[in-house]
């Protein structure tokens, strides 16, 4: 007789509300094991010291996350025995500190548990190897004559014990939980995963990037520029402006902060020097892991590059969407910039007309925590480090092409600020529009859409009292219009009652200004 796999045994038990022995399977829960096997498990419990299997040292530089740790502990020990309280998941972007937070939880509360076990769970093979490594620790080898599979052995051990903490690190396929966790158990399970949706498997806690002060503190600790036991309130951060700026540029990503601190420690350079290096050669620095890196051997660059390569191979629509998103302003990207776009490449265009296809692409990106979606205001966020790494994968020509596309999409969406009723909508798009202004200047983008956007943003800036910005944008707008339509017709269809229209040349006549702008034009075709 061929038996179902462990996963389907567990599912059948749940479906029929019977235990494995009642269904005729070979492997039964601990309560149904033969007296010999029960005796062996009992003997193993009496003869072994409290098991502890965490393969990493405690991180002396661990910073922040106290609220997360307290939340985990309170939920685990809150008295409720539900799946979503006994199994919790730390979710987040690669490099956000999921594994480090799990390590800290294990060490901080180790005396609360009788057993702490750590499993690598990225794949089925990783999980099986980790379970094999536990056989000696848990004295399970003597039970192999009854149960051969290492994962089954661990599951039986868990069902026969209580007050344990089981950590499954870097789990991608949450159905692996069915193979290792008993149907009914008396312990706690902590997962680390990139997926943002854990369904009925676990309670999900999303780890966010570090805020400015906490990120600066981690950087200073890792660079060993302050004593490790100093708390945030004991430090005058105003004395460390370069560290604050660097933490901001790295957008609070713990792995990036750790890399920077490691470089500063190893080379003996100052934070100011590193900051200067980063401005000039950031990709090289993001590719340098430094230190031992045992818990996270990949650099920021290597980690995200590998993630994108896999995304391109397995999910082309999601990869195409991400390729576009890395050129937007990273926070609160309006979803309608995608759905309202026209003249896109075939993959992107299909997502503008098929909402389910867009949802599927966003689901894939959320499963890797490459974006965060906000359903309430129909927008999503992307981490700055992702943008930096992914942009650098493309040639200058490709970058300019995507930048022009983003300018066109934002230009189509940005409303007319002359109408006061549109100001709230203008505020929704203004960050994206100002990012496009940078692209227009950086890439010398000359198009009707670029001119249209510059003019509307200039009006918006004028009405908000930013006359200098309005004047600069209007001059750039006129330069593009004159280039496209000539000096005689550069302002033909403009509303010349607009105050900021005159502001840009209040010290000279319109004709002289247009001629001078025409002479200064150096915009390539």
Q: How far apart are CA 391 and CA 115, in angstroms?
A: 46
Q: Put residue 56 in one of left, alpha, beta given phi > 0 → left and psi -120 to 50 → alpha.
A: beta
**Is the per-residue pLDDT at 248 higher than 80?**
yes
Q: Hey, CA dihedral for 407, 411, 414, 418, is it positive or negative? A: positive
Cα radius of gyration (the chain): 29
Where do we find the tokens 């708390």? 231
pLDDT at 34: 44
Over residues 267-274, mean pLDDT: 96
| pLDDT at 78 (0 to 100) | 86
Q: Which residue has the higher pLDDT, 48 or 427?
A: 427
pLDDT tens column, 191-229 = 999 999 999 999 999 999 999 999 999 999 999 999 998
What pairs with residue 515 in β-bridges?
none
Residues 6 or more apart in contact with residue 343 via CB below 8 angstroms:
349, 408
List beta partners, residue 162: 186
In DSSP terms, which residues pair with 118 in a beta bridge? 167
What is each CA distance from 108 to 103, 104, 111, 118, 218, in whole angstroms? Answer: 9, 6, 8, 15, 19
Q: 293 Cβ partners below 8 Å, 6+ apart?
A: none
CB 185 within 8 A of CB 159: yes
pLDDT value at position 48?
Answer: 55
Give all domains of the chain, ordered by start, each with its CATH number.
Answer: 6-206 (3.40.50.300), 212-286 (no CATH), 311-392 (1.10.10), 394-525 (no CATH)
Dist CA 366 CA 172 (whole Å):
12
Which strand (E) or helix (H) includes residue 162?
strand 162-169
Whether the CB-CB separation of 172 and 123 falls below 8 Å is answered with: yes
Q: H or E element: which one contains 122?
A: none
Confidence check: pLDDT of 187 > 60: yes
Q: Is residue 512 over pLDDT 90?
A: no
Reported pTM: 0.84
Residue 23 has what pLDDT?
A: 67
pLDDT tens-digit series, residues 142-161: 676 666 788 988 998 999 89
CB-CB neighbours of 489 under 10 Å: 11
Tell me, what's the pLDDT at 251?
96
Residue 509 sits at the vertex; the CA angle it makes with 507 and 513, to the nearest 5 degrees, is 90
Give the whole-angstrom CA distance, residue 478 versus residue 490.
7
- Token pair, residue 68, equals 């997360």
């Amino acid at each position: 007789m061929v038996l179902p796999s462990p996963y389907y045994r567990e599912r059948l038990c749940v479906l029929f509300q019977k235990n494995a022995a009642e269904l005729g399977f070979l492997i039964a829960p601990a309560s149904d094991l033969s007296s010999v096997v029960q005796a062996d498990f009992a003997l193993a419990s009496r003869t072994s010291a409290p098991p502890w299997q965490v393969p990493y040292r405690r991180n002396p530089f661990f910073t922040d996350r106290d609220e997360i740790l307290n939340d985990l502990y309170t939920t685990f020990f809150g008295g409720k025995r539900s799946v979503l309280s006994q199994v919790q998941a730390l979710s987040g972007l690669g490099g956000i500190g999921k594994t480090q937070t799990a390590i800290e939880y294990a060490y901080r509360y180790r005396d609360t548990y009788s057993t702490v076990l750590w499993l690598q769970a990225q794949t089925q093979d990783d999980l099986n190897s980790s379970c094999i490594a536990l056989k000696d620790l848990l004295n399970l080898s003597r039970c192999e004559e009854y149960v051969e599979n290492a994962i089954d052995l661990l599951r039986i051990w868990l069902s026969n014990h209580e007050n344990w903490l089981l950590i499954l690190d870097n789990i991608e396929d949450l159905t692996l939980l069915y193979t290792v966790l008993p149907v009914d158990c008396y312990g706690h399970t902590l997962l680390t995963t990139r997926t943002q949706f854990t369904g009925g498997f676990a309670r999900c806690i999303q780890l966010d990037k570090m805020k400015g002060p906490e990120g600066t503190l981690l950087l200073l600790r890792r660079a060993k520029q302050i004593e490790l036991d100093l708390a945030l309130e004991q430090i005058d951060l105003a004395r460390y402006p370069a560290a604050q700026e660097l933490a901001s540029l790295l957008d609070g990503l713990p792995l990036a902060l750790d890399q920077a601190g490691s470089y500063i420690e190893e080379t003996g350079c100052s934070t100011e020097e590193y900051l200067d290096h980063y401005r000039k050669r950031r990709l090289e620095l993001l590719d340098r892991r430094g230190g031992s890196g045992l818990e996270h051997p990949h650099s920021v660059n290597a980690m995200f590059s590998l993630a994108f390569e896999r995304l391109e191979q397995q999910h082309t629509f999601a990869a195409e969407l991400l390729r576009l998103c890395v050129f937007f302003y990273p926070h609160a990207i309006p979803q309608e910039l995608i759905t309202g776009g026209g003249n896109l490449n075939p993959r992107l265009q299909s997502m503008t007309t098929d909402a389910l296809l867009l949802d599927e692409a966003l689901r894939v990106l959320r499963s890797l925590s490459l974006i965060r979606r906000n359903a309430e205001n129909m927008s999503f966020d992307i981490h700055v480090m992702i943008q930096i790494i992914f942009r650098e994968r493309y040639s200058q020509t490709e970058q300019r092409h995507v930048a022009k596309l983003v300018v066109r999409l934002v230009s189509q969406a940005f409303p007319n600020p002359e109408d006061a009723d549109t100001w709230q909508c203008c505020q929704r798009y203004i960050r994206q529009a100002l990012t496009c202004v940078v692209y227009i200047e950086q890439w010398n983008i000359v198009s009707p859409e670029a001119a249209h956007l510059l003019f509307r943003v200039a009006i918006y800036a004028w009405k908000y009292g930013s006359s200098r910005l309005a004047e600069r944008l209007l001059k750039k707008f006129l330069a593009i219009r004159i280039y496209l339509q000539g000096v005689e017709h550069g302002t033909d269809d403009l509303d010349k009652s607009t105050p900021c229209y005159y502001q840009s040349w209040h010290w000279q006549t319109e004709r002289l200004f247009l001629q001078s702008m025409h002479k200064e034009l150096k915009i390539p075709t």
